[in-house]
Structure 1
């Protein structure tokens, strides 16, 4: 019962929460020496001063303010932001040729209230007129907002000229970027970058994925069975992730997200059955892995990688995901082995209570996402 209570307290704090996504910052330079900065962010989180250093919005002292802002219609939210905008624009530093630039908000695109299990998307567009041709640039987001990702382009109509993404942790400044002779990320650097993103997307940000892997790991202490299940799941989500990233398949998040939640519930319910079939479970895990791969793709597509870096990106991301999965499975198995070594009934003490709790959460999330 203590394990059930602990798991309940740990997970309940995330059920109502939104994950704060890093801001995606795109800088475009034009021939007339104007510059445009597009910031894709969770505006409510920024206004409530909630950054990516919080695992979810309910961890922040201003969680109530975030929830209030999240419920506003887009017109009312824009009015609130207009009062906050001068404070917000002072929270980032944009330099061209080592000189801070004065930016003016030219447009704010705020989505409808929409699906409340996902942060609402806002795109803020700032512009500035440069006095000289740009040679270098640098960007720094305030530490209060946490992580951001930066890329830039010399704009040419109908051409894809974006640089590689530069991932900036905890408000750290970007490097001084030479616009005339940019230093692209090497293949090892890009691989490591997206490996880190893949790991972070599971631990600590991916509670859907964590609960699915925990439910799967609770099914057996036989390493061959666990290896089969984890390998089957990995193969499936890698397949759909790759196909989705190259545009072969595309499924709406309104379908994918409820299916992911119900997959969590099903895997946990399987643990409660007296006679489990490893063949049946492997087939089910494979099918659900296909769905989870589509969920990964919806996040990774936001980075819009260039074709020549797609393979490195996918491999790095998948390696990060697999490292996180191995860590989760190892933790669950270690806990069960300790109980078993103490000659305690680990199934009664841990597997059954945890599976019931995970199944209930999965069912709750599933119906919430269907009607959300």
Structure 2
């Protein structure tokens, strides 16, 4: 399983390299439109395709990004101003279908709180539009990633939306009245929650797989997933409502450290714990449900930090929160379903079904398919995975190989557990421990 460990540890995220959505705030009145956009200027200057990665370490020009991060805020502002023509050619605002011409109204690069934080740059733009225009549309080049568009200073149902892939927002009324309905907001936040698990939430994926590999039986799996869901739903809701802000204040005032900097190492530790317990216990221990619930509370705070990046519309706060949580749950269930499908044939043979040759053929085909995907590295799968195909196809290929091996040694006691579940848990434990050390000490 050393290959699995190598594959996934190489993707361990550093907060300074995380890809975050950009946020646009728009105000318009009497033919004048003012826009402020919070962006990762270093990523834009380095020409990194923010639509296809979740971590700039995986970008082709990662070294250029790191070199730009080493520059002072004023140097970045100067470079962005020099690059203004390129940026503005990739940015579009339409008034009744006609493009608005903007001029640079200033660039401010805010110092990062620490070396592990993404540095935010605020771009200010001003333009003019026909006073009789009724609708705006906003968009930018797909390479710039996700853009959250917010209409400000509007009393009458302001528009809030998300755009990516080089598309434009739907038309929204300049004077307000284009706010999404509760159902629309609910539906729009489901993919945001799902995306945070698959493919972006590698740490949460490994935690869920740690729950799965305890015992591939319905009762212990349902108990664990249900408790985990209940716990992270509680803290996600409390954090979104602002009821956990006292923790931020306490850790900043007492230890001069952000609370999320405590949560992230503990999430990594939770991954290591569940995996280690899988190795030494064959079923649901008396204490494991309580531990899973406690870890679920931590993961909920991690989900909340991501949701804070997107924000919640004031007029539809609850639908957005529920939609995000539903997306998270669907993502978790998708992870479990995929892994269950991968090991199902090996489990059937381990439980006495005479399907040996069928299992060998099936895992042989799956293994070859996974290797072919790694070799071909098709762009469409890179886009779906938002990263290198080998990061997911490589571990799956190894799981298929281990499943075939467990079928070969089917006459041994607990062959599936010894050959598949325990090695997989060892790999997950090592990755979790590595992430804990990295996030806590490096």
- Cα displacement (A) at 1:69: 2.3
Correspondence for 2:329 among 310, 322, 328: 322
Aligned to 1:8: 5
- Cα displacement (A) at 1:229: 0.3
Aligned to 2:339: 332
Greater helix fraction, Structure 1 or Structure 2: 2
Taking structure 1 as the reference length, what is the TM-score of the superposition?
0.88
Aligned to 2:171: 176
Can you list the C-alpha shifts for 1:118-143, whole angstroms capped at 9, x where unaligned?
53333322233556366321211112
Can you list the C-alpha shifts for 1:67-95, whole angstroms capped at 9, x where unaligned?
32234443443343333233222211123
Greater mean alpha carbon deviation, residues 232-241 or residues 146-155: 146-155
- Cα displacement (A) at 1:275: 5.7
Q: Which protein has the larger Cα radius of gyration, Structure 1 or Structure 2?
A: 2
Q: Aligned-residue CA RMSD in angstroms?
A: 2.5
What is the rounded CA distance, in whole Å, between the counterparts of 2:232 and 2:115 in structure 1? 24
- Cα displacement (A) at 1:105: 3.5
Alignment partner of 1:365 is 2:435: yes
Contact 1:39-1:123 at 8 Å conserved across structures = yes
Please give the residue correspondences for 1:235-246 in structure 2 after superposition, counting only pairs within 5 Å.
Answer: 235-246=230-241
Can you list the C-alpha shifts for 1:219-257, whole angstroms capped at 9, x where unaligned?
111211000100000000000111111111134211211
Aligned to 2:272: 265
What is the rounded CA distance, in whole Å, between the counterparts of 2:426 and 2:70 in structure 1? 32
Shift in alpha-carbon separation, 1:342–1:45, aligned structure 2, 3 A: farther
Aligned to 1:69: 68
Taking structure 2 as the reference length, what is the TM-score of the superposition?
0.75
Contact 1:177-1:183 at 8 Å conserved across structures = yes
What is the rounded CA distance, in whole Å, between the counterparts of 1:183 and 1:61 in structure 2? 39
What is the rounded CA distance, in whole Å, between the counterparts of 1:152 and 1:365 in structure 2? 39
Name the SS for the 1:107 alignment partner.
strand
What is the rounded CA distance, in whole Å, between the counterparts of 2:139 and 2:61 in structure 1? 23
What is the rounded CA distance, in whole Å, between the counterparts of 2:179 and 2:230 in structure 1? 31
Aligned residues: 363
Contact 1:25-1:39 at 8 Å conserved across structures = yes
Alignment partner of 1:154 is 2:153: yes
Alignment partner of 1:187 is 2:171: no
Shift in alpha-carbon separation, 1:115–1:325, aligned structure 2, 3 A: farther
Aligned to 1:106: 106
Name the SS for the 1:128 alignment partner.
strand
Greater mean alpha carbon deviation, residues 81-90 or residues 317-326: 81-90
What is the rounded CA distance, in whole Å, between the counterparts of 2:71 and 2:13 in structure 1? 17
Shift in alpha-carbon separation, 1:122–1:266, aligned structure 2, 3 A: farther
**Structure 2 unaligned spans of 5+:** 248-258, 351-405, 407-414
Aligned to 1:47: 45
Name the SS for the 2:102 alignment partner.
coil
**Structure 1 unaligned spans of 5+:** none
What is the rounded CA distance, in whole Å, between the counterparts of 2:283 and 2:348 in structure 1? 23
Name the SS for the 1:108 alignment partner.
strand
- Cα displacement (A) at 1:198: 0.5
- Cα displacement (A) at 1:359: 1.8
Alignment partner of 1:311 is 2:296: no
Aligned to 1:28: 27
